[in-house]
Copies of this chain bind each other. A is one copy, B any other.
Amino acid sequence: MAPTNVGGIGLVAEDVHIGGQAPEPLTLEGIRTRRAKAGKLDAPTASYSDSDMFKAPQSFKKPLAKRWDHLLSPESAARKPCVLKQAAKHLKKPGLVSLGGGLPSSGNFPFESLSMQVPSPTGGFSHTSGLKQVTIGKHDVRDGEGNGVLDLSIALNYGQSIGSAQMLRWVTEHTELVHNPPIADWRCALTIGSTGSLEAAYRMFGDRTRGDGILTEEYSFSTALETAAPLGLRVFGVPMDEQGLLPDKMDELLSNWDQEARGGARRPRVLYTVPSGQNPTGATQSEQRRREVYRVCQKHDVFIFEDEPYYFLQMQPYQKGGSAPAPSPSTTAKPNGEPSSSGGNADVEAFMRTLIPSMLSMDTDGRVMRHDSFSKVVVPGSRVGWVTGSEQVIERYIRHAECCSQGPSGFSQAVLYKLLDEEWGHDGYLRWLMHLRDEYRGRRDAILRACERFLPAEVVSWTPPAAGMFLWLKVDHTRHPHASDKSLLALEEEIFDSCIDRGVLACRGSWFRAEHDKPLSGLFFRTTYAAASEEQMAVAIERFGDAVRGSFGI
């Protein structure tokens, strides 16, 4: 049987062009009510599902996205649905016996159950006390074990490339709750992480034989650059300030594009950006900045890849000197666990309101493909994330994934489903994010205190990050005794090597240049406060300071 269709796709046709008054955003309470009304999700092995099945009815009253046929690559446009997956539609016929798909019998899966020990919201997410044991069995659904709608016989067999209906429901609800996209036909698809979904996005919108290129921040995530290069997609950097991308500069660049001067590259039609806690600069775009960037993209018909692994690591502002602010409003739930009314989630809803709105949330055109990831907020090793975009874009993405990954690991999906859906629920997950934000704020404050203490203020400067896990250190090369006779690259190398000698690894700014053939614009080092302990960070920053002092002779 097909999963319960709770979204009422029929609404689309009638109501979609009404527009006008903005529909109410989804609430935690609204999700609970809707799930209760929809009844238990019935999604057996390899079920078809899409986000429309899980969206709030009011979502369908919004206007439709624009079409992107003129930007899709020939490769993407040529993709057809898998013939074997299409045949699955016949499986709905009652009494049908399938000798079709080569799906192994779950009787031959050598896993009878999987259990995990996880921290709980009621225990304040302590890693030592209040741990809960959560178990998923092979035939829980068939045997009616617990209230679960996913078991190992489903999760570990082949599935749809969009991901399991069970996890798709969760990411769709979460996305609606947090971003409430302003188009009717938005959808999600699970991914194998944002590395994979970004590569797919490049191939969907980029083709080297058309001279396609990509806009991004002047300093950008090195793997994103390394992914574009072998595809023959040229990358062009947009100047930045402490809030990241400068919309005026971007407008100027696009308005005065000279294809010949750019080595035959046509005006880029795609922007890759990390709006929150940008990698490597740590810059976070304000709401105003995001709206301005979006408007420039509209003006030049540029499609946006919004990569947001650090979105929920938005922190309270740094207090100079590092005096710790009061922690977030209680990150532990009421002792009775599940709050009975939306009143019990006031702190969670207050937290959501502190988040800078995403580009997805302002995307009236459907020109954003957002890449979300569990890597920074759950574990990197799940290799699970999700993309959100218009129905057309997500459909093309799924066609790509069918031939490239077949969707994320079933073990990962099983574990994430048990934790995020059954055990924590949406409110528990948001409490976890509040908890993590405090954790990262503590780490950020510690590295900033070390910088204030150990770095020579006359040559090293920084902006306290408002999000993410990176601190970008600017070294004023104009004050270097060899500023006039050594290149920036040589100075950078000298300081980096001296750092290694002294026992600290910091990343060189040049590794992140969007355009490697342009001269360096400054002397930068990327540091992270995600991994090392507070004490180790202090040691490391002191060593970095010594390396700079040694090079500058101060």
A387 to B435, CA, bound (A): 41
For this chain, the copies found in one complex come to 2
Contacts of A104 in B (CB 8 A): 375-376, 379-380, 469, 530-531
Which residue numbers of A lie inside 8 Å of B, CB to CB? 74-76, 78-80, 82-84, 87, 90-91, 93, 95-105, 107-119, 125, 127, 131, 155-159, 192-193, 195-196, 199, 209, 222-223, 226-227, 229-232, 279, 375-376, 378-384, 402-415, 419, 432, 436, 439, 447, 469-470, 500, 503-507, 511, 527-532, 536-537, 539-541, 543-544
Contacts of A158 in B (CB 8 A): 375, 380-381
A470 to B102, CA, bound (A): 8
B115 touches A114 (CB 8 A): yes
Closest-by-CB residue of B relative to A411 is: B411
B404 touches A383 (CB 8 A): no
- Return A448 CB to nearest CB of chain B, in Å: 13
The verdict on A103 contacting B505 (CB below 8 Å), with A403-B199, A410-B379 known, is no
A110 touches B125 (CB 8 A): yes
- Return A219 CB to nearest CB of chain B, in Å: 13
Contacts of A381 in B (CB 8 A): 155-159, 409-411, 413-414
Contacts of A93 in B (CB 8 A): 500, 503
A155 to B382, CA, bound (A): 9
Closest-by-CB residue of B relative to A198 is: B403
The verdict on A110 contacting B231 (CB below 8 Å), with A402-B223, A505-B91 known, is no
Closest-by-CB residue of B relative to A97 is: B540
The verdict on A98 contacting B505 (CB below 8 Å), with A112-B127, A117-B112, A158-B381 known, is yes
A35 to B101, CA, bound (A): 41
The verdict on A75 contacting B232 (CB below 8 Å), with A112-B118, A113-B116, A412-B412 known, is yes
- Return A539 CB to nearest CB of chain B, in Å: 6
Contacts of A375 in B (CB 8 A): 104, 158
A432 touches B110 (CB 8 A): yes
Closest-by-CB residue of B relative to A440 is: B108
A378 touches B110 (CB 8 A): yes
The verdict on A410 contacting B383 (CB below 8 Å), with A95-B503, A111-B117, A114-B115 known, is yes
A155, A279, A406, A539 pick with most chain B CB within 10 angstroms: A406
- Return A529 CB to nearest CB of chain B, in Å: 8
A110 to B402, CA, bound (A): 30
The verdict on A101 contacting B528 (CB below 8 Å), with A112-B117, A500-B93, A507-B84 known, is yes
A229 touches B195 (CB 8 A): no
A115 CB contact (under 8 Å) in B105, B116, B156, B379: B116
B405 touches A193 (CB 8 A): yes
A105, A414, A527 pick with most chain B CB within 10 angstroms: A105
Interface majority SS (helix, strand, loop, mixed), chain A: mixed
A224 to B74, CA, bound (A): 19
Contacts of A196 in B (CB 8 A): 404-406
Contacts A112-B116, A383-B409, A404-B404 aside, 9 further interface pairs with beta carbons under 8 A come to A84-B511, A96-B503, A100-B506, A102-B470, A104-B469, A110-B119, A111-B116, A227-B404, A408-B409
Closest-by-CB residue of B relative to A406 is: B195
27 contacts between A and B (CB under 8 A): A76-B230, A78-B232, A82-B223, A84-B222, A91-B505, A96-B505, A98-B504, A98-B505, A99-B506, A99-B532, A102-B530, A104-B380, A109-B378, A111-B116, A112-B117, A157-B380, A158-B380, A192-B192, A196-B405, A223-B402, A381-B414, A382-B411, A383-B410, A409-B411, A411-B411, A411-B415, A412-B412
A99 touches B528 (CB 8 A): yes
A230 touches B403 (CB 8 A): yes
The 3 closest A-B pairs by CB, nearest first: A381-B410, A409-B409, A156-B381
A96 CB contact (under 8 Å) in B83, B98, B500: B500
A539 to B231, CA, bound (A): 51
A105 to B469, CA, bound (A): 11
The verdict on A410 contacting B116 (CB below 8 Å), with A99-B532, A110-B125, A192-B405 known, is no
A99 CB contact (under 8 Å) in B380, B511, B540: B540
A500 CB contact (under 8 Å) in B90, B412, B541: B90
Contacts of A383 in B (CB 8 A): 192, 405-410
A424 to B378, CA, bound (A): 30
- Return A366 CB to nearest CB of chain B, in Å: 23
A505 touches B100 (CB 8 A): yes
Contacts of A114 in B (CB 8 A): 114-116, 415
The verdict on A78 contacting B229 (CB below 8 Å), with A84-B222, A117-B113, A380-B158 known, is yes
Contacts of A118 in B (CB 8 A): 110-112
The verdict on A97 contacting B539 (CB below 8 Å), with A109-B379, A116-B111 known, is yes
A100, A101, A103 pick with most chain B CB within 10 angstroms: A100
The verdict on A101 contacting B157 (CB below 8 Å), with A114-B415, A415-B411 known, is no
Contacts of A78 in B (CB 8 A): 229-230, 232
